[in-house]
Homo-oligomer: A and B are copies of this chain.
Amino acid sequence: MRLKEGNKGNDILTAAIKVFAENGYHNAKIHKIAELAGVATGSIYVYYKNKETILQKIFEQLWERLYNELNVISKRSDINSVEKFDAMLDLLFDVFIQDPALAVVFVNEQNLLLQKKPKEFTPYYQKFIDLGECIVVEGINNNVFHPDVDVKIVRSFIFGGLRFLLHQWAQNPGEFPIDKIRQNVKQLTKQGLLL
């Protein structure tokens, strides 16, 4: 018997995130992912059924992690709704700051997968979204958030704004300090533009 050496499955995933981020999913060549992962082209197909499966796995891991961490936040009883809202934004920032390439892939390719194979998209995504919604509803019920906003619309707006900013930052990290972005997003979502 022979054991698989190292963790090639993970190496491939990490390499794929980089290559997908740089070239976009459709322009990413399998052979380049293999090269970056330090394996042969054929090995990719030992670990993943095909190119699309790699993308699916990336989102699976991402959303599972985000959901689990948001779950912890939403259950805390030592902080109020506004603080939970803050913590949620921080969570998203922290995850993507750790891995800018992942931020780019997330922004560019999530729609692709969701549109093409909605059934096979990780359920953790929906669970995360639902939790985020809960936090805002809780804030409304506790009289700290405007009651006349539609939670689903607000959720999508903030989510979309964040996506776009993270994408910009990931492609050109020097342009803005990420903490300035973080601070502005919190200001804007909570207070708005008006004085």
Q: What residues of chain B lie closer than 8 Å to A157, measured between beta carbons?
A: 161-162, 164-165, 184-185, 188
What copy number does this chain have within its complex? 2
Q: Contacts A153-B165, A164-B163: A190 and B190 contacting too (C-beta < 8 A)?
A: no
Give 5 nearest A-B pairs by CB, closest first. A160-B164, A192-B192, A161-B161, A157-B161, A191-B192
Residues of chain A at the chain B interface (Cβ within 8 Å): 24, 26-27, 82, 85, 107-108, 111-112, 115-116, 136, 139, 143-146, 148-150, 152-154, 156-165, 167-168, 171, 176, 180-181, 184-185, 187-195
Closest Cβ neighbor of A191 among chain B residues: B192
Q: Write the nearest CB–CB distance from A121 to chain B, whole angstroms.
A: 14
| Cβ-defined contact, A167 with B27, below 8 A | no
| Cβ-defined contact, B193 with A176, below 8 A | no
User: 29 A-B pairs, CB-CB below 8 angstroms?
Assistant: A24-B116, A27-B116, A82-B194, A107-B111, A115-B171, A139-B193, A143-B195, A144-B195, A145-B193, A145-B194, A146-B187, A146-B191, A146-B193, A149-B187, A150-B176, A150-B180, A154-B184, A154-B188, A154-B193, A156-B168, A157-B185, A161-B161, A163-B164, A164-B164, A187-B192, A188-B192, A189-B192, A190-B192, A190-B193
